[in-house]
Amino acid sequence: MRPPSINVSVVVGALVMVAPLQAQNPTLPPLRDPVASVERFPIRVIGVFDESSGQPIPSVEISETATGTSVMTSTTGSANLGFIVPKGGEIRLRKIGFEEQTMTISMTPADTLPITIVMKRVAELPAVVTKDAAPRYISPVLKSFEERRKNHASGYFIDEATLRKEDNRALGNVLTAHAPGAIVKQVSSANFLLKSPRCSNGGMPDVYIDGVSLAHLDDPRWPIPRNKNRSAAPPDPREFPIDLNQFAVHDLAGVEFYPDNATMPVQLSRTAAGCGALFLWTRER
């Protein structure tokens, strides 16, 4: 059975996004340079599917055989191999009930196409219960998020436990419920993130996915006055807010929002022209 196509807009939720991935899904806005202080990882998407049903397989452990560093596939059966083999290498795929697989992955700049893997079901053995299980892997970006959440003096944070309870809600609703400083306006089918009234300058808030900033694009649903003179310059893209409806809560492990640039921590400082920023961190399991 042919595996379903990977929904890269959701994969974004599981991955650190950079410009090459946009070519896989033209519906996503183009990306800008990532936050300088967030560790850069290459992007190579892998999608894992059930041979018999064609459905994506979540919680597949993908580990580098040399170091044991691992990452888990998301609810869409996808993961970013840049977290574990940034320079390429041999990986092993394991999940109880499926046949183990080992393969070598290349991670050169030319390797931008996603990898599709089909796993075969095998007879499941009784579960082995251990008291001293190895700690699960957490990526550096999520570790940094948790440190800021526990020690923050400004901004608003939504942790994974809270997000999992609200998986079926729109991100705009979750944000306004847990981050009183966020202003979200519904226009047509969009939920636009607007800047705080205390912003004296700067454009609409920037939105980051795993440290990578989305560009502000002309959105016809946002009412900006148009100059009738066709030779006039187009509206400044910074005045267009970003639609939060393109992000699914069930793909997120953490959310942090800063109403203005003055409230942002030093490690997230950047040169973007927006006033305030929303940082979205994707789930790894």
Mean confidence (pLDDT) of the chain: 78
For the segment 162-179, the average pLDDT, to the nearest whole number, is 91
Q: What is the pLDDT of residue 38?
A: 45
Residue 2 within any structural domain of the chain:
no
The pLDDT score that the predictor gives to residue 100 is 93
Domain assignment present for residue 202? The answer is yes
Residues 172 and 260 in one domain: yes
Are both 162 and 265 inside the same structural domain? Answer: yes
The pLDDT score that the predictor gives to residue 20 is 46
pLDDT at 19 over 60: no
Asked if residue 100 and residue 211 are part of one domain, the reply reads no
Q: Stretch 131-137: mean pLDDT, rounded? A: 59
Residue 126 confidence (pLDDT): 59
**Residue 201 covered by a domain:** yes
**What is the band of 82 on the pLDDT scale with cuts at 50, 70, 90?**
confident
Give residue-wise pLDDT tens across range 248-258.
Answer: 999 999 999 98
Lowest mean pLDDT among 26-35, 92-101, 234-243: 26-35
- Residue 46 in any domain: the answer is yes
Range of the domain at 33: 8-119
Higher pLDDT, 271 or 196: 196
Q: Are residues 111 and 163 in the same domain?
A: no
- Among 74, 90, 119, residue at a domain's last position: 119
Same structural domain for residues 21 and 150?
Answer: no
**126 lies in some domain:** no
- In a domain? residue 135: no
H or E stretch at 165: helix 160-165
Q: Write phi, then psi, for 30 (nearest 5 degrees).
A: -65, 160
**Residue 127 CA: distances (Å) to CA of 9, 99, 133, 137:** 35, 16, 13, 21
Output the pLDDT for position 222.
Answer: 84
Do 190 and 278 reside in the same domain of the chain? yes
Q: What is the pLDDT of residue 273?
A: 63
Residue 90 amino acid letter: E
Return the CATH number at 17: 2.60.40.1120
* Structural domain includes residue 132: no
Q: What per-residue confidence (pLDDT) applies to 228?
A: 53
**Percent of the chain topping pLDDT 70:** 74
Same-domain pairing of 253 and 152: yes
Same domain, 187 and 274: yes
Q: Give the pLDDT confidence score for residue 199 in this predicted structure.
A: 79
pLDDT band at 164 (very low <50, low <70, confident <90, very high): very high
pLDDT at 122: 86
* pLDDT at 86 exceeding the cut of 70: yes
Where residue 249 sits, what CATH number does that domain have? Answer: 2.170.130.10
Q: pLDDT band for position 10 (50/70/90)?
A: very low
The structural domain count of the chain equals: 2
Q: Looking at 89, 119, 149, which one is the last position of a domain?
A: 119
Same domain assignment for residues 97 and 60: yes
Among 119, 151, 166, the domain boundary falls at: 119
Q: What is the pLDDT of residue 27?
A: 55
Q: Answer yes or no: do 205 and 75 share one domain.
A: no
Alpha carbons 117 and 127: distance in angstroms, whole number:
25
Q: What is the pLDDT of residue 3?
A: 54
Predicted local confidence at residue 255, as pLDDT? 93
**Assigned domain for 209 exists:** yes
The 10s digit of each residue's pLDDT in 28-62 is: 555 555 544 444 567 889 999 999 899 999 999 99
Better-scored residue on pLDDT, 44 or 131: 44
Check whether residue 64 and residue 174 sit in a common domain: no
Do 98 and 156 lie in one domain? The reply is no
Rounded to an integer, the average pLDDT of 193-209 is: 84
Distance CA 5, CA 12 (A): 14
